[in-house]
Amino acid sequence: MSISPETKSWIPVHPESHFPIQNLPFGMACREDESETIVMRIGDLALDLGLLLEAGMLSDQEFPSLERLTDLDLASIRQLRNRVGDLLRSDNRTLRDNSELREEVLVPVDDLDLMVPMDIPAFVDFYSGINHASNVGKMFRPDMPPLLPNYRHLPVGYNGRASSVIPSGVPVRRPSGQTKAADSEAPRFGPTEELDFELELGFFIAEGNDLGEPISIHKTDDHILGMVLVNDWSARDVQRWEYQPLGPFLAKSFATSVSPWIVTLDALQPFLIAGETQDPEVLSHLKSRKPGHYNLHLEVAIQTAAMTKPQVVSRTNSRHLYWTIAQQLAHQTSNGTNTEAGDLYASGTISGTEPGTFGSLLELTWRGRDKLTMEETGEERTFLEDGDTVIFTGYGQAEDYRIGFGELSATVFG
């Protein structure tokens, strides 16, 4: 359940922080001794749950191990979040007045080595941003309807590469692959010349399902832990040559960056909205009785090696997704496929309807036709160059607080 808007913490939190007591997202951190522990964030601090357990502030009967989130079922994770929320309440003296323990278990976030927040057995990337899909269709199939016939009937997706999912801050090497120019008779192999970002949201599975037992659209909340920002990097020129007839392969598998904090569905509940009407009406296994979209503000910024500060190049909103996370998971398992705790599902590129709201350089420069200018230096970009840093951020705005993901960033190198 969500923590009430009136709740205050004894830890000071700036009004524009993404991490008030109403958020309390989960992450994974590596300590100085290289051991790993679950952490929760509030303001600019992270609470080490392993040390909190050792100090007796959490029940070792309820939470015998706090090394990995995949060790806990969703009910235990919710109970853990509520317990920590209670400890951090302004009127709870238990941890507040224990200065020695406070110093030990509360660590500045900047001092932490943050990891991918869960072990990921599998990664699936959907294509649920309808404006992005329409824009791509207009670019590459100008004589056809922009959306393929199946788009409004099912959440299109493909199985990605879990092994190359990396945490925020890890540099991304420019990948090589086969490309073929329109005026060439044969392909060439070399570094991509059209490296791009893709602004996405992702969700993690807390509890999987058995093989042959689909997850009902009405039960998806019993399996989803929470959401993260995702940058599913793309080599556009490689993809253009290789994707037919089976879809993305090397153009997408070289790196997928995720933000370090899993924001729970409980924390995001105040931002649930109905979303746009799905037309035609979806089939029964994708029909939900409740809102499933989210009103989350999203931004993309770029900082070149010559710049002193990033420049925002896109502002958009997750409301532009056509398919909800519930529909994505219900469809993924509708054939009986099994999922596991830690599985990551990404939304596909999120774009608005106007220039400046698109979630990729492919769209922002319209396939390289319109260059982006960096105001500070005058540099121009059609696609990413070595030394460029891409930064995503996103949050939901309530009346008195924000619930956000922090930043997801990575720098390209050759």
Judgement on whether residues 258 and 141 belong to the same structural domain of the protein: yes
Cα–Cα distance, 354 to 357 (Å, whole number) = 6
Shared-domain flag, residues 288 and 391: yes
CA atoms within 13 Å, Cβ hemisphere of 75? 1
Q: What is the pLDDT of residue 2?
A: 75
Which of 114, 148, 177 is the last residue in one of the domains?
A: 114
Is residue 101 located within the same domain as residue 197? Answer: no
Nearest to residue 250, comparing CAs of 233, 238, 241?
238
Instruction: Give me the residues of the chain with pLDDT under 70, please.
Output: 1
Helix (H) or strand (E) holding 158: strand 157-159
The answer to whether residues 300 and 344 belong to one domain is: yes
The one-letter amino acid code at 352 reads G
- For the record, the structure tokens of 34 come out as 């290289």
Mean confidence (pLDDT) of the chain: 96
User: Judging by DSSP bridges, how do beta strands 256-258 and 165-167 pair with one another?
Assistant: parallel
Assess whether 14 carries a catalytic annotation.
no
The model's pLDDT over 64-115, given as tens digits with 9 standing for 90+, comes to 888 899 989 999 999 999 999 999 999 999 999 999 999 999 999 999 999 9
Asked if 68 and 194 sit in the same domain, the reply is no
What is the domain-level CATH number for residue 69?
A: 2.30.30.230
Cβ neighbours for 5, distance < 8 A, ≥ 6 positions apart: 22, 270, 398, 399, 400, 401
Let me know: does 194 contact 366? Beta carbons within 8 Å: no
pLDDT in tens, 320-340: 999 999 999 999 999 999 999
Catalytic residue among 132, 223, 320, 331: 132
Q: Check residue 1 and give its pLDDT.
A: 65
109 and 127, same domain (yes or no):
no
**Does 87 share its domain with 158?**
no
Q: What's the DSSP call for residue 236? A: H
Name the domain count of the chain. Answer: 2
Which structural domain range is residue 162 located in? 123-413
Evaluate if pTM is beyond 0.75.
yes
